[in-house]
């Protein structure tokens, strides 16, 4: 599991601010945007483990948003796989901007069969 780490990056744009996504009123990097970037990093980290027809789905996020980031600054998120229990995957996650750490915590994902998961989800439409 030592090499199951990935880092992804993005630039804070007006569309990724709290004011724009509705998670606050200020023009700063939105917590939901940070969480999405963290999940993206975990998806990239786990991709080598997946077989044909498999994907992973996020099931748990416990992340502290520690510092605000302005529009125009770059943000990175890193996910490191620290535990695997069958289909359950646990990651240590961090997010940083150009000045330091802005978020940290734990993220869990489960490996699922893509087609089966989609069928089960879409079955809700027939209830």
The pLDDT tens digits for 97-112 are 999 999 999 999 999 9
**What is d(CA 9, CA 79) in angstroms, rounded to the nearest whole number?**
12
- pLDDT score recorded for residue 51: 96
Is 39 designated active site?
A: yes
**What is d(CA 29, CA 3) in angstroms, rounded to the nearest whole number?**
29
| Domain boundaries, given as residue ranges, for the chain | 5-126
When pLDDT is cut at 50, 70 and 90, the band that residue 20 belongs to is: very high
Q: Identify the CA nearest to 49 among candidates 6, 103, 100, 105.
A: 6
- Find where tokens 């939901």 sit: 32
Is 65 designated active site?
A: yes
- pLDDT score recorded for residue 2: 57
The pLDDT tens digits for 33-65 are 999 999 999 999 999 999 999 999 999 999 999
**What is d(CA 75, CA 35) in angstroms, rounded to the nearest whole number?**
12
Is 107 designated active site?
A: no
- pLDDT score recorded for residue 54: 98
Q: Long-range contacts of range 117-123, CB-CB < 8 Å, 24 or more positions apart?
A: 117/55, 117/57
Catalytic residue among 31, 69, 78, 94, which?
31
Tell me what the mean pLDDT of segment 15-22 comes to.
98
Half-sphere exposure of 99 (CA within 13 A, CB side): 8
Q: Is the pLDDT of residue 1 over 90?
A: no
Topology of domain 5-126 in CATH is: Thiol Ester Dehydrase; Chain A (3.10.129)
The overall average pLDDT reported for the chain is 97
Higher pLDDT, residue 126 or 91: 91
Catalytic residue among 15, 54, 65, 107, which?
65
Catalytic residue among 39, 69, 78, 108, which?
39
- pLDDT score recorded for residue 3: 78
């Amino acid at each position: 599991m030592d090499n199951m780490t990935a880092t992804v990056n993005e630039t804070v744009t007006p569309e990724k601010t709290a004011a724009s996504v509705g998670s606050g009123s200020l023009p700063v990097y939105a917590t939901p945007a940070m969480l999405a970037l963290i999940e993206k990093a975990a998806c990239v980290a786990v991709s080598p483990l997946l077989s044909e027809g498999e994907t992973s789905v996020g099931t748990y996020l416990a992340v502290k948003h520690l510092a605000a980031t302005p529009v125009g600054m770059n943000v990175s998120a890193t996910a490191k796989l620290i535990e695997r229990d069958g289909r359950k995957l646990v990651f240590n996650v961090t997010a940083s901007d150009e000045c330091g750490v802005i978020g940290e915590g734990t993220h869990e994902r489960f490996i699922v069969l893509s087609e089966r998961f989609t069928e089960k989800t879409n079955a809700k439409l027939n209830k």
